[in-house]
């Protein structure tokens, strides 16, 4: 690995100051699971590494006022294991449990998993499906960006030089107001070989049903099927106000597959990836509906 200057700020203000000062030459590291590997490979050769791992303002997670606030440093492993998250934000826990291997999950942070901007990762689709936003801070400003708008291309995000992601906020899914109504989420991925290899595709689905089993809200987000996560708006809209049956589920899945924008690569040709998108959406949608209290035969 190339030598670099190593800075370890201990407050958020200090962190944004050093970032402002070093600009493009600085690389932020949080868990380091992606950044350190890329430096070892020589893909990244920063002059300065800013380790934000000990900035207290970036740590901690709490649910209050109908919002889950995940400090940027919250590890994927703690999202996976936190019973409070599992109960209300089950989709996040489910996606977290499918990230890489336990060694990576122990270190990887939620901030890193979105700022990395890799199209194949699991957390972005789940977070987008849950309507999450990122808080970005610099020495001079603070702004909030919906995660649906955060990704700009492979390894490219809305982060400006000098900016840090400080927190991700996730609105609590609205609980069903009528008896029998419910919310269900499901994340699935399809990988060839071992799970820590890049997946062919992943899909996050979130549905909310009313007491009559009608779908009041549905979100479908696909990963690894384009340069950025694909929000399958049209496909989800087919569910509006409907009581999903097998035929509708197949239609939704097919429409979601059409929304995908995959590339031909080692993980398969375009037609195959679209097919997998369809299969994953169909399976994840059925699973989400089941969790919401509606089993479709």
Partner 1 sequence: MPTLEAAEKVTGATRYVGDLLVPNMAHAKVLRSPLPHARVLSIDAAEARAAPGVVCVLTRDEVRAAGIEPVYGFVYRDAPLVALDKVRYQGDIVAVVVAEDAAAAEAAAELIEVDYEELPAVMDVEAALADGAPLVHESFSPIAPELRPIEGTNVCHRAHIARGDVEAGFREAYRVYEDTFTAPPVQHCALDLHACIASIEDGAITVWTNCQSPFPLQRELQRIFKMDARVIVPYVGGGFGSKSRDRLECVVTAAAQLAGRPVRLVLTQEETFQTFIRPAYHGTIKTGVRADGTIVARHVRFTIDVGGYAISGARSANNTLKVATGPYRIPNVLVECDAVYTNKPPSAPYRGLPTTQHTMAYETQLDRIARDLGIDPVELRMRNLVVDGDVHITGDLLRSTHAKECLEAAAAGIDWGTPSTPPETPSKLRGKGVSCTIKYTLTPPTRMSENGAAISLGEDGIFEVRIGTVNIGQGSDTTMAQFAADGLGVGLERIRVVHSDTALVPVDSSTTASRSTYHMGNAVLDAASKLTAETLAVASHLLERDAGDLALGPDGVEAPDGPTLAYDELVRRSGGPLSALGECVVGGTYTAPDGTEYPIASTFWSFASAAAEVEVDTDTGEVRVLRMGAASNVGKAVNPDSVRTQLEGGLGMELGPTLFERLVWDEGGQLLTAALMDYPLPTMETSPTYRPEIVEHPFEGGPFGAKGMGEIGSVITPAAVLNAVYDATGVMFHEVPLLPHKVLEALEAL
Partner 2 sequence: MKITISINGKREQREIEPSRTLLELVREDFGLTGTKAYCHSGICGACTVLLDGAAVSSCSLLAAQADGADVTTIEGLAAGTTLHPIQQAFIDHFGFQCGYCTPGMVLLTKALLDEVPEPTREEIVRYMGGNICRCTGYAGILASVEAAAKALSGEIPAGET
Ligand X SMILES: Cc1cc2nc3c(=O)[nH]c(=O)nc-3n(C[C@H](O)[C@H](O)[C@H](O)COP(=O)(O)OP(=O)(O)OC[C@H]3O[C@@H](n4cnc5c(N)ncnc54)[C@H](O)[C@@H]3O)c2cc1C
Residues of this chain that bind partner 1 (CB under 8 A): 1-3, 41-42, 190-195, 197-198, 200, 266, 268-269, 272, 275-276, 279
Per CB under 6 A, does 268 bind ligand X? Answer: no
Binding mask 23-52 for ligand X (x = CB under 6 A): ----xxxxxxxxx-x--------------x
Binds 122, which of partner 1, ligand X, partner 2, none (CB < 5 to 8 A, cut-off by type)? ligand X
Binds 227, which of ligand X, partner 2, partner 1, none (CB < 5 to 8 A, cut-off by type)? none
Closest approach of Cβ 154 to partner 1, in Å? 14
DSSP annotation string for 16-43: HHHHHHHGGGEEEESS-TTHHHHHHTTS
Closest approach of Cβ 266 to partner 1, in Å? 6
Strands 61-64 and 5-7: unpaired
Binding mask 99-138 for ligand X (x = CB under 6 A): xx---x--xxx-xxx-xx----xxx---------------
Cα 176 to the center of its chain, rounded Å? 24
Q: Are 287 and 176 in contact (CB under 8 A)?
A: no
Closest CA to 244 of 266, 273, 217: 217
Number of residues that bind ligand X (CB under 6 A): 30
Maximum C-alpha span of the chain: 62
Q: Are 206 and 130 in contact (CB under 8 A)?
A: yes
Residues of this chain that interact with partner 2 (CB under 8 A) are 1-6, 8, 29, 32-33, 36-37, 39-41, 49, 51, 53, 77, 100-104, 106-107, 194-196
Beta strands in the chain (DSSP E): 5-7, 26-29, 48-51, 61-64, 67-71, 133-137, 142-146, 151-153, 156-157, 164-171, 182-190, 201-209, 215-223, 230-231
Interface residues with ligand X (CB under 6 A)? 27-35, 37, 52, 72, 99-100, 104, 107-109, 111-113, 115-116, 121-123, 159, 164-165, 196
């Amino acid at each position: 690995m190339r030598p670099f200057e190593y800075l370890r700020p201990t407050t958020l203000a200090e962190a944004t100051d050093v970032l402002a000062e070093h600009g493009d030459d600085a690389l932020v590291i949080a868990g380091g699971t992606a950044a350190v590997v890329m430096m070892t490979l020589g893909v990244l050769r920063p002059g300065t590494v800013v380790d934000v791992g000990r900035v207290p303002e970036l740590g901690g997670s709490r649910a209050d006022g109908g919002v889950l606030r995940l400090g940027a440093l919250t590890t994927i492993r703690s999202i996976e294991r936190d019973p409070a998250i599992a109960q209300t934000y089950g989709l996040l826990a489910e996606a977290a449990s499918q990230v890489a291997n336990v060694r990576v999950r122990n270190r990887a942070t939620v901030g890193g998993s979105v700022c990395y901007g890799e199209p194949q990762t699991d957390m972005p689709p789940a977070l987008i499906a849950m309507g999450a936003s990122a808080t970005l801070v610099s020495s001079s400003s603070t702004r909030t960006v919906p995660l649906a708008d955060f990704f700009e291309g492979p390894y490219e995000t809305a982060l400006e030089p000098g900016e840090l992601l400080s927190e991700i906020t996730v609105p609590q899914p609205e609980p069903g107001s009528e008896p029998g109504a419910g919310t269900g989420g499901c994340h699935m991925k399809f990988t060839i070989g071992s799970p820590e290899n890049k997946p062919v595709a992943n899909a996050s689905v979130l549905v909310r049903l009313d007491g009559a089993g009608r779908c009041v809200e549905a979100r479908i987000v696909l990963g690894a099927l384009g340069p950025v996560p694909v929000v399958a708006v049209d496909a989800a809209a087919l569910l509006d106000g409907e009581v999903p049956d097998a035929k509708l589920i197949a239609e939704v899945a097919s429409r979601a597959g059409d929304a995908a924008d995959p590339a031909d690569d080692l993980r398969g040709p375009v037609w195959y990836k679209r097919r997998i998108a369809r299969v994953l959406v169909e399976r994840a949608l059925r699973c989400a509906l089941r969790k919401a209290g509606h089993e479709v035969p």
